[in-house]
Amino acid sequence: MNNFEFKNPTKIIFGKDSIAKITEEIPTNANVLLLYGGGSIKKNGIYNQVKTALKNFEVTDFGGIPANPEYAILMDALQVIKDKNITYLLAVGGGSVIDGTKFLAAVAVYKGETPWDILTQNIKTEKGMPFGTVLTLPATGSEMNSGAVITREETKEKLAMGGPGLFPQFSILDPQVVKSIPQRQLANGLADAFTHVLEQYMTYSVDAKLQDRFAESILQTLIEIAPTVLNDTFEYKAASNFMWSCTMALNGLIQKGVPTDWAIHAMGHELTALYGIDHARTLAILTESHYQFNFESKKEKLAQYAERVWNINEGTVDEKAHAGIKKTTAFFKSIGINTKLSDYTNDYEGTAEEIAKRFTSRGWLGLGEHQSLSPDKVKEIVEMAY
Amino acid sequence: MNNFEFKNPTKIIFGKDSIAKITEEIPTNANVLLLYGGGSIKKNGIYNQVKTALKNFEVTDFGGIPANPEYAILMDALQVIKDKNITYLLAVGGGSVIDGTKFLAAVAVYKGETPWDILTQNIKTEKGMPFGTVLTLPATGSEMNSGAVITREETKEKLAMGGPGLFPQFSILDPQVVKSIPQRQLANGLADAFTHVLEQYMTYSVDAKLQDRFAESILQTLIEIAPTVLNDTFEYKAASNFMWSCTMALNGLIQKGVPTDWAIHAMGHELTALYGIDHARTLAILTESHYQFNFESKKEKLAQYAERVWNINEGTVDEKAHAGIKKTTAFFKSIGINTKLSDYTNDYEGTAEEIAKRFTSRGWLGLGEHQSLSPDKVKEIVEMAY
């Protein structure tokens, strides 16, 4: 096991009818900016529950944060924060709204001139404006970590940021919100959480037995609940397991003490930036080719995964490892997610070159747990995913 | 899954040579009380590492905190805290030293007249004196939770306390400390962590799939590493897995959203108070009879445990459940821990009555996940463990 530091101070408030507890978590004198997305929370009743809980607070609304939170829109929100002397942010939404709120929490206290520098210059936020979240879409884990990914349409970029000052002070996880989530988003959430775990697990062994087993536990649980979550009939129990699994998949715990990969995410972000493909689906597009390309360095863990997660007990290490990859692709398909770039666009020629060029220009010369995936290798992996 | 709240702000600093990092974690102007146990840290070099890290701090030593931290001795430490205007506590030890330090962190800011009331009147500490820990004995999980158990020789009592203000600010976990731990303590640590998991898992199902799998992951890991940990030759990897498993076994995570039992601990504390039997061994004494006595209400989970942790796939639910109990007893024996009270004392007659009487006098009228174990049932369970 590698050396590590772990601290996660977010308070999770999990369960049925927990949205009302916002009242106890926000300082009574706070001047709150309520951030949300396209307005689905106004249809499903969550907005009203939040407003009721906030009835004794000063609150300004800021809706319209899109999937892949857009820099220009967040700059509008920053203006509201300044104009209204906002002191507390409350994100009500999925990963995009929460990520956008984290960026605002950083920017609101940032002393530099250009907020975009936080993303390009990898500036860590030690202390941001305090914020809480009400999660409406299990998927990204953003509700219990300190990282965010921000998109800039103008330059077709999608970049990550974060820092120890960007953990939510609290996050409300009421599994009942799952009831009104469309199938497409549910499938995305399952695939996103599944791939988060894979990125922290499918590397090489450092004999971190508990981290491996925790990762496998999340994968097994996602596989087990997926059909029920996608079923038309809402089941609270499955929704609970789905929601908690997504949070645990990326709250930092399972990545401590082990090597992590994240190449699938780095490449996937480019597919979203270039084609607007849903984040989770870009991951599903790249997983198989990434594991095929890096088969030799990952096969031991792939075989362990095949055994423990998919109960494949027959065959050599290579055979099990290949079977594990096949099972992963089959899992994505079983939840209705296609796994080739050509399933999403006809205009894919040249994508691999373009992504390799972008990585080169940013100085990203070695992705993956061995930092060995140079832009030319990235090009091959993306081509295999056409 | 039941509703829950989870917040654990302790910073874990895990790995080789991490003791030196104390320096960065304690406020520079702190007046530190360094608390430790019987002095083994002076023989194994840990004391010197800590002192070196603290060389620029004002530090007062307080050694001699015994296993089962004793109220009278802690009252002496409280006097030192007052006399020396101590502002920060640093526990260097195992669960007993850390628990004693937590009690002091509570008492140091307590406004009431009699510190013992914190234990008897179940007073939660919202904000204690800040403290950190350097763990020298993986076992109790106290390094990453906010609870403690304190013993009073005068009245032969052993009682629990805690509160959200009693999380360590940081805990240093350097697996190298395992090298100098005697076999007996290693076995105790394994049994203690194992039983901590059982108490949070072996109840009835609320379909909390991830919590169940995380619990099983810790049990599987402890079983897997036990022989290596107990081997005369020190292995860093096994020590790392041992240490992290013990912490995760009782840092609050796996108990969230599920019913918990803790009857084994409640009964076990009495055996320690009455006979001075090592805490972990009291748990091993009571586990089998507790599960036999409560077989009907626990058999579904016992069977799941037998399947997933011990790979027992044949037989009925009842058969698997019984096999799971047998495997548990065999595990304790495999690490050199006897599982009957009569293995530890010849003077056991009347113990069951005495414990039942104590529970009655304290008003503990229903132990276990169903609060159904009345003192007369406790009497039967303890008798079965003779």
Classify residue B363 by burial, with Cβ atoms within 10 Å: 0-12, 13-18, 19+.
exposed
pLDDT value at residue B242: 98
Residue A45 has, within 13 A of its CA and on its CB side, a CA count of 10
Residue A236 CB contacts under 8 Å (≥ 6 apart), including other chains? A16, A175, A176
A378 part of contact set with chain B, CB < 8 Å: no
A108 DSSP β-pair partners:
none
β-strands B4-14, A4-14: how paired? antiparallel
Q: Which of A98, A223, A85 is nearest to A166 (CA)?
A: A98
Residue with tokens 């009942």: A176
**Contact between chains at B1 and A244 (C-beta distance less than 8 A):** yes
Closest chain A residue by Cα to residue B144: A7
pLDDT, averaged per 10 consecutive residues of chain B (386 residues), comes to 98 97 97 95 96 97 94 97 98 97 97 94 95 97 96 88 97 97 97 98 97 98 98 96 98 98 96 93 98 98 98 98 98 98 96 96 92 97 98
Q: How far apart are CA B301 and CA B297, in angstroms?
A: 9
B225 part of contact set with chain A, CB < 8 Å: yes
A8 part of contact set with chain B, CB < 8 Å: yes
pLDDT value at residue A277: 95
CA dihedral sign, ordered A136, A138, A143, A149: negative
**Contact between chains at A207 and B237 (C-beta distance less than 8 A):** yes
The CATH number of domain B11-176, selected from 3.40.50.150, 3.40.50.1970, 3.40.50.80, 3.30.365.10: 3.40.50.1970
Altogether, the residues listed in chain A come to a count of 386
- N-term to C-term CA, chain B: 37
Q: How far apart are CA B20 and CA B311, in angstroms?
A: 42
Domain extent listing, chain B: 11-176, 183-384
**Contact between chains at B14 and A7 (C-beta distance less than 8 A):** no
**Contact between chains at A9 and B7 (C-beta distance less than 8 A):** yes
DSSP 8-state assignment for residue B70: B
B213 part of contact set with chain A, CB < 8 Å: yes
Give A286 to chain B, closest Cα distance, Å. 27
* Chain B residues closer than 8 Å to A207 by CB: 237, 240-241
ipTM of the complex model: 0.97
Torsion angle of alpha carbons B19, B24, B30, B36, nearest 10°?
A: -10
**Contact between chains at B15 and A2 (C-beta distance less than 8 A):** yes
Q: Are B54 and B34 in contact (CB under 8 A)?
A: yes
Name the helix (H) or strand (E) containing B7: strand B4-14
Q: How far apart are CA A151 and CA A78, in angstroms?
A: 16
**Contact between chains at B1 and A257 (C-beta distance less than 8 A):** no
The CATH number of the domain covering residues in A183-384: 1.20.1090.10
Give A326 to chain B, closest Cα distance, Å. 24
Residue from B3, B143, B216, B243 whose CB has the most chain A CBs within 10 Å, to mutate: B3
β-strands B170-173, B4-14: how paired? parallel
**Contact between chains at A244 and B257 (C-beta distance less than 8 A):** yes
Nearest CB among B3, B214, B241 relative to A18 is that of: B3
Longest Cα–Cα distance of chain A, Å, equals 65
Q: How far apart are CA A6 and CA B11, in angstroms?
A: 6
A364 part of contact set with chain B, CB < 8 Å: no
Q: How far apart are CA B227 and CA A198, in angstroms?
A: 30
Encode A17-50: b = buried (16+ Cβ within 10 Å), e = exposed: ebbebbeebbeeebebbbbbbeebbeeeebbebb
**Contact between chains at A14 and B244 (C-beta distance less than 8 A):** no
Angle, CA of B185, B239 and A310, to the nearest 5°: 120
Q: How far apart are CA A205 and CA A46, in angstroms?
A: 43
**Contact between chains at B210 and A237 (C-beta distance less than 8 A):** no
Residue by residue, DSSP assigns A7-72 as EEEEEEEESTT-GGGHHHHS-TT-EEEEEESSSHHHHSSHHHHHHHHTTTSEEEEE--PPSS-BHH
* Chain A residues closer than 8 Å to B216 by CB: 213, 217
Neighbours of B357 (CB within 10 A): 13
pLDDT value at residue A50: 98
Nearest CB among A12, A209, A240 relative to B1 is that of: A240
pLDDT value at residue B157: 84
Nearest CB among B13, B210, B248 relative to A210 is that of: B248
Residue with tokens 């080719």: A289
DSSP 8-state assignment for residue A154: G
Q: Are A374 and A273 in contact (CB under 8 A)?
A: no
B210 part of contact set with chain A, CB < 8 Å: yes
Q: What is the pLDDT tens value at each position of chain A, 386 positions in all?
A: 999 999 999 999 999 999 999 999 999 999 999 999 998 999 999 999 999 999 999 999 999 999 889 999 999 999 999 999 999 999 999 999 999 999 999 999 999 999 999 999 999 999 999 999 999 999 999 999 999 999 998 988 888 999 999 999 999 999 999 999 999 999 999 999 999 999 999 999 999 999 999 999 999 999 999 999 999 999 999 999 999 999 999 999 999 999 999 999 999 999 998 999 999 999 999 999 999 999 999 999 999 999 999 999 999 999 999 999 999 999 999 999 999 999 999 999 999 999 999 999 988 889 999 999 999 999 999 999 99
Q: Which of B13, B69, B63, B21 is nearest to B40 (CA)?
A: B63
CA A135: distance to chain centroid?
13
Closest chain B residue by Cα to residue A246: B210
**Contact between chains at A3 and B15 (C-beta distance less than 8 A):** yes
B79 part of contact set with chain A, CB < 8 Å: no
β-strands B88-93, A131-135: how paired? unpaired
β-strands B131-135, B170-173: how paired? parallel
Q: Are B218 and A211 in contact (CB under 8 A)?
A: no
Q: What is the mean pLDDT of chain A?
A: 97
Nearest CB among B18, B175, B210 relative to A217 is that of: B210
Task: Answer yes or no: pTM beyond 0.90.
Answer: yes
pLDDT value at residue B364: 85
**Contact between chains at A1 and B248 (C-beta distance less than 8 A):** no
